[in-house]
């Protein structure tokens, strides 16, 4: 029971630090988002340009991911914070101890209910490692985007020099080392989870020496996750955002094709027909090497007589973004409200 107690006390301390670290990371994301409520970028599906969004809205997507990670860690903490002391080897003890009193001294809100389970339970570690793995998925995803965005092909951002390196052979290179390393470290944490699952899967009750091998995975996962949180807190505020490049990206690639179809729907056309009409217009634009918003009104009318001069206002990125006012959408008003609400909520979270 002392071994079980020690690992729970250690994990309680580390989980609290991780929770507060995630809160700090989310505060950084909120600050970045608040500064980019007017920055337009291309939104993607299948890594293909899809529709324009606000960069702040994109950042808030990661805020939501890391918010769920914080919630998972908080929930996991409830099952970590259970005192097993007094279960002895597996059957309890003959001494007249007061486990509730001991739990109070050690700041445990709850005492374990079954002595056999108390010494053989490692579910709370597996749950922590699963939560850490999900969190590392999110770190891997944002890292992948930073790698892409910092490439010559995208050029959406520039990483600070302290978080990138040059090449020993190619003098022009600026390699995104930190995002790449964080992306790679996600695999370590996944491995830690799989390792403990493999250790525990066939163990009879109660304690077995195999369970001694639970320490390395949990130590590694905690150290890795804390390091990733810490480095991102330092790196994110210092990334240079190339707003003009982002906007230019939103102006090419026919991101306004859906809005062209929606425009025709507002004029009374069925969406299926409007979709086909916009598709034909895109095909024509590709042949003519121009964007939809570069059409003349006469060219618009080649595809439907319903087009009039107000179509051009409907096809600007700013207009497309502003019309997406459904709850959770990218309209500036929505995004600003989401940032303000998140700021009020997060102020109450630190523990």
| Among the listed residues 45, 199, 68, the one whose alpha carbon sits nearest the alpha carbon of residue 137 | 68
| Among the listed residues 152, 133, 130, 153, the one whose alpha carbon sits nearest the alpha carbon of residue 141 | 133
> Which one of the listed residues 112, 118, 167, 186 is annotated catalytic?
167
Do 208 and 243 meet the contact criterion of CB atoms below 8 Å apart? no
Distance CA 175, CA 166 (A): 6
How far apart, in Å, do the first and last CA atoms of the chain sit?
A: 28
For the question of residue 167 being annotated catalytic, the response is yes
> Which one of the listed residues 46, 202, 289, 309 is annotated catalytic?
46
Do 93 and 121 meet the contact criterion of CB atoms below 8 Å apart? no
Supply 225's token pair: 């996750």
Distance of CA 162 to the CA centre of its chain: 23
For the question of residue 168 being annotated catalytic, the response is no
Burial string for 46-55 (b: 16+ CB within 10 Å, else e) reads eeebbbbbbb
Reading phi first (left if > 0) and then psi (alpha if -120 to 50, else beta), residue 88 is in left
Task: Please classify residue 107 by burial: count the beta carbons closer than 10 Å to its beta carbon, then call 0-12 exposed, 13-18 middle and 19+ buried.
Answer: exposed
Supply 295's token pair: 């059409």
| Among the listed residues 127, 145, 125, the one whose alpha carbon sits nearest the alpha carbon of residue 62 | 145
CA–CA distance from 219 to each of 20, 118, 192 (Å)?
A: 18, 21, 9
Element (H, E) at 52: strand 48-54
45: which strand partners? 48
Q: What angle do CA 116, 118, 122 make, to 5 degrees?
A: 115
The catalytic residue positions are 46, 167
């Amino acid at each position: 029971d002392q071994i079980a107690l020690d690992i729970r006390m250690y994990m309680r301390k580390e989980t609290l630090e991780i929770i507060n670290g995630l809160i700090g990371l989310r505060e950084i994301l909120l600050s970045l988002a608040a500064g980019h409520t007017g920055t337009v970028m291309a939104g993607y599906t299948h890594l293909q340009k899809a529709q324009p969004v606000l960069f702040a809205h994109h950042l808030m997507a990661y805020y939501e991911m890391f918010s769920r990670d914080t919630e998972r860690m908080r929930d996991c903490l409830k099952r970590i914070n259970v005192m097993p002391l007094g279960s002895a080897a597996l059957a309890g003890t003959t001494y007249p101890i007061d486990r509730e009193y001991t739990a109070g001294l050690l700041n445990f809100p709850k005492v374990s209910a079954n002595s056999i389970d108390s010494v053989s339970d490692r579910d709370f570690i597996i749950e922590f490692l699963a939560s850490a793995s999900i969190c590392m998925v999110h770190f891997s995803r944002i890292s992948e985007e930073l790698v892409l965005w910092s490439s010559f092909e995208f050029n959406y951002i520039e990483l600070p020099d302290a978080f990138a390196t040059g090449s020993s052979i190619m003098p022009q290179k600026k390699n995104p080392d930190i995002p790449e390393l964080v992306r790679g470290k996600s695999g370590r944490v996944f491995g830690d989870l799989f390792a403990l699952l493999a250790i525990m899967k066939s163990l009879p009750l109660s304690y077995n020496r195999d369970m001694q091998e639970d320490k390395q995975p949990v130590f590694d996962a905690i150290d890795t996750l804390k390091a990733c949180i810490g480095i991102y807190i330092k790196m994110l505020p210092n990334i240079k955002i190339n707003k003009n490049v982002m906007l230019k990206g939103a102006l090419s690639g026919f991101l306004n094709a859906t809005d062209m179809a929606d425009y025709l729907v507002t004029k009374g056309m069925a969406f299926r027909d409007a979709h086909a009409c916009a598709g034909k217009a895109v095909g024509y634009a590709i042949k003519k090497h121009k964007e939809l918003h570069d059409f003349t009104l006469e060219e618009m009318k080649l595809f439907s007589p319903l087009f009039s001069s107000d179509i051009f206002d409907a096809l600007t990125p700013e207009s497309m973004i502003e019309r997406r006012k459904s709850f959770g959408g990218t309209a500036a008003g929505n995004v600003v409200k989401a940032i303000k609400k998140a700021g009020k909520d997060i102020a109450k979270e630190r523990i």
